[in-house]
Structure 1
Amino acid sequence: MVQIQLNRLVEDLESYATYGQDERGGITRPSFSSEDLKVRIRFIKELQDLGLEVSIDGIANIWGKLRGNGKKKGSIVIGSHLDTVPNGGKYDGALGTLVAKEIIRTIIEKDLTLDHDLEIVSFTAEESNDFGLSTLGSRAFVGRLSEQELRKATDSKGLLLSEALQTVDGDIDRIPEMAAIRDDKKVFVELHIEQGKRLESNDRPVAIINSLVGVYRSKVTVIGEANHSGTTMMPHRSDALTAASEMILAVEHICAEDKTDLVGTVGKLEVQPNAINIVPGQVDFVLEIRGECQERMEKIVGKIEAEWTEIIALRSLQWKQSILQQQEPTKLDKEIVTILQGVANQMSIPYMTLPSMAVHDAAHMSLISKSAMIFVKSIDGKSHCPEEYSTPEDIEQASNVMLQGILAIDKLFD
């Protein structure tokens, strides 16, 4: 059975991790940064050295194509992303991209010829970024972001996205051209670390992912009255922060009562005027709900809003909210999931079938191609931090499931 070379892959991971190393022990390599540009240049050269046909589309996604024998039309696509969060780890994104490169390198070395073309992709700006457009490359590629939205996008310093794209060989004027190549992408498989503890808790190295959760986000404003903290007696206060605290605790207990994998978070808070001696007059926070069932998510949001209304009424305050995001759960392709499950069974590799609790590029690629994901166990469930880690043994098993899965997909699909 054909297998990847683990030592070579591990060396790749360590080497790529030197791009963006920061003083806090992690990796800071946001898209369009100087470190991102350096890693892109290296990645492109390595694809060219493998003999792949390399291209960069309008949104600056990097594509490398290994030609098949022409018996079957369309491409099987594998890959992920190379950008990181601030002070992130070496596995999120980069592992999936480098495993894809190792799979292609193995296929070339073993002199295997596929019936389909096999493509590798590194998507632009998968992580949250200063332009406010996470999963930018995949969303733009499948047409989920309009050219008008992309032209208007600016970062916190006023830099236009169109200008940033030029620094990495993208071109906003070529955005419409991407529609012409979407139909060629027949299958997409993405490997990623789990970023949670479900695999570790069940002592499984690998998961086959059959869906990705939906995400609901709203910006909530609690309006009270700012006043002197010394002269305003407790019964006379209209404290927006204490009300917001109750509202946040309501999110916690309502979501904790749910028996599914639904989760709720308030991770961003802005207090005004944010002074030691002033009763807070206004609080803004962002509510996020993630779940694999849209109906269940809507029910939970309704329960939260009802309890918030009671809290605000008892305190004689006001509140309002605006919806930031309503992304429904994504079902991945049953046929591809079944093939990957079958391969894992044949290889006697223990696995789980799970939904992804994070949104990945596969969620968007599923709009145009048969898509699935493979997860690798994350030690202690850590991610988006320097402590992020997956063992070489687990990586090897997941990579070989993916390699054999690609070979099986090539045979089974016309």
Structure 2
Amino acid sequence: MKVNIDRLMKDIERYSEFGKTTDGGVTRPSFSHADIELRKMFIDELKKLGLSVTIDGAANIWGKRKGVGNNLGSIVIGSHLDSVPNGGWYDGALGVLMAKEIMRTLTENDVFLDHDIEIVSFTAEESNEFNLSTFGSRSFVGCLSADKIRGVHNSKGKWLSEELEKVGGGLGEFPKMKELRKKIKAFIELHIEQGQRLEDKNISMAIVDQVAGIYRSNVKVIGESNHSGTTMMDKRKDALTAAAEMILEIEHLCKECMNGVVGTVGRLDVYPNATNIIPGEINFNFEVRGCTEELIKNRVNKIQEKFNDIANKRKIELKQEVFLDQKPVDLDKDILSILQSAAVEMDEPYTILPSMAVHDAAHMASITKSSMVFVKSIGGKSHCPEELSLHSDIEKSGNLILQGLIKLDNALTKQTI
């Protein structure tokens, strides 16, 4: 029993039409017109597969195929259908559509598992106008309450609560998610790797054992604005050159750790931002991601030491505010072992990797056994129209989840895990 890769790829191409950009990418943020229209089609397709469809308070879409066991609970497979601006076809959508393909494969082969099998499409996994990424999964597991998001709106004045109601969710339905999550026994998410580690190893797929932690801080560098022509070099307190030195230190200190940690400055604001004025203030955000708390803490401490050295040397002032300190998440070892066993039986090479990006599976790990499978990304491209995974690699990863699902169902029924 194998997934139908040709049918799956037609689905992926068909879904890419919703929010398609002129250069072949996809712009489909949650609650956009493209997202709303795709939701309608997706729900209709789930119903045609004979699944019972539920939309929870966070507007996550669930499709259930009943098992033959006596109310044993659900094994869930899925991901998300929203995209970044001008993103690719595969990020998120592959995981949802592979879940749908696995449902079709089970039905066509008249295979019923003991547990209910559910497909989920989580709302607003990507960064969005409401500044609440992984919104659907965080809401579902209880990290985001109705009270926390009641006053949330975007820059256009749209209220998140109203947008949820437009797509079948609503803050009034949030309490019901507590009961829904009690029935979930396991979760598996398929995702493109979004990196080049699998390509470097020439391996189609990986089983993910953990999701990296993220530390983010806003740094304000305060110097002194002055005339760019009349202020001699030895009299300057240039905030931008100080910030530039700090940013290079982040790169240098994270490179020292090779593959264990990454550091990035992705946002920089310059004041007053004029050609003939020495910059007097810089605001930048920096993040460090790593697979252990100790590794993150070590790098952050060294970065802070260098920041202070630079500030003292250049006679500038520093102000900092940490706005995210998310710990690494270990994914379920039992499901990892089951997926390893399935890969060996399939005679397919695999490796074990940590995810350096945060996915819905990381939040689901707080309420149930949670796991991920990565499929090789060509060139490591993601969040762009060039995003690509090969049919053969996708097929192998899908069959791994299909066979792993059957083994997982059996193990949960026998309560061997």
Relative to the length of structure 2, the TM-score reads 0.98
The alpha-carbon deviation at position 211 of structure 1 amounts to 0.5
TM superposition shift of 1:152: 2.1
Distance in structure 2 (CA, Å) of the matches to 1:372 and 1:124: 19
C-alpha separation between the residues in 2 aligned to 1:310 and 1:222?
A: 13
Aligned counterpart, 1:39:
38
- Does 1:246 pair with 2:254? no
Specify the alignment match of 1:111 in structure 2: 110
Partner of 1:203: 202
| 3-state SS of 1:371 partner | strand
Aligned partners of 2:296 and 2:3: how far apart in 1?
Answer: 40
**CA deviation digits over 1:182-226, x for unaligned, max 9?**
110100000000000000000100000011000111111111112
Secondary structure class of the residue paired with 1:232: coil
Spell out structure 1 runs of 4+ moving beyond 4 A.
none
Match of 1:309 in 2: 308
Tell me the residue number matched to 2:291.
292
The alpha-carbon distance between structure 1 residues 404 and 72, as it changes in their structure 2 partners (threshold 3 A), is farther
State how far apart, in whole Å, the 2-side matches of 1:99 and 1:260 are.
30
SS at match of 1:373: strand
Q: Equivalent residue of 1:340, what SS?
A: helix
> Is the deviation greater in 119-128 or in 236-245?
236-245
Residue aligning to 1:178? 177
Deviation, 1:70, is 2.5
| Deviations, residues 393-413 of structure 1 (Å, cap 9, x unaligned) | 000000000100101111111
Q: Deviations for 1:123-176, whole angstroms, at most 9, x for unmatched residues?
A: 000001111110000001001112221112111222211011122111111111
Aligned twin of 1:330: 329
Task: List alignment gaps of at least 5 residues for structure 2.
Answer: none
2-side partners of 1:274 and 1:19: how far apart? 39
Which residue does the alignment assign to 1:227?
226
Letter in 1 for 2:278: V
SS at match of 2:288: strand
Cα distance in 1 for residues equivalent to 2:168 and 2:76: 21
- Equivalent positions of 1:10-409 (< 5 A) are 10-71=9-70, 73-409=72-408
Secondary structure, aligned partner of 2:87: coil
Offset at 1:277?
1.3
How far residue 261 of structure 1 moved from its aligned partner, in angstroms, is 1.9
Aligned twin of 1:6:
5
- Is the deviation greater in 163-172 or in 128-137? 163-172
Equivalent residue letter for 2:338: I
Kindly indicate whether the alpha-carbon contact (under 8 Å) linking 2:269 and 2:282 is maintained by their aligned counterparts in 1: yes
* C-alpha separation in 2, matches of 1:169 and 1:228: 57
In structure 2, C-alpha distance between the alignment counterparts of 1:40 and 1:348, rounded to whole Å: 37
Deviation at 1:34, TM superposition (A): 0.3
User: What is the rounded CA distance, in whole Å, between the counterparts of 1:146 and 1:47 in structure 2?
Assistant: 28
**Aligned-pair distance for 1:260?**
4.5
Quick one: which amino acid aligns to residue 233 of structure 1?
M
Gaps of 5+ in 1: none
One-letter code aligned to 2:100: K
For 1:101, the aligned partner's letter is K
Whole-angstrom CA distance in 2 between matches of 1:248 and 1:102: 45
Letter in 1 for 2:237: S
What is the distance in 1 between the residues matched to 2:257 and 2:6?
A: 43
Aligned counterparts of 1:233 and 1:24: Cα–Cα separation in 2: 48
Alpha-carbon shift at residue 296 of structure 1 (Å): 1.1
Provide the secondary structure at the position in 2 that maps to 1:413. Answer: helix
Q: 1:177 offset after TM fit, Å?
A: 1.2
SS at match of 1:154: coil
Which of 231-240 and 325-334 deviates more?
A: 231-240
Q: Distance in 2 between matches of 1:150 and 1:235?
A: 50
2:145–2:174 contact (8 Å) kept in structure 1: no
Calculate the aligned-residue CA RMSD, in Å.
Answer: 0.9
Aligned residues: 413
Normalised by the length of structure 1, the TM-score is 0.98
Q: Give the % identical residues.
A: 55
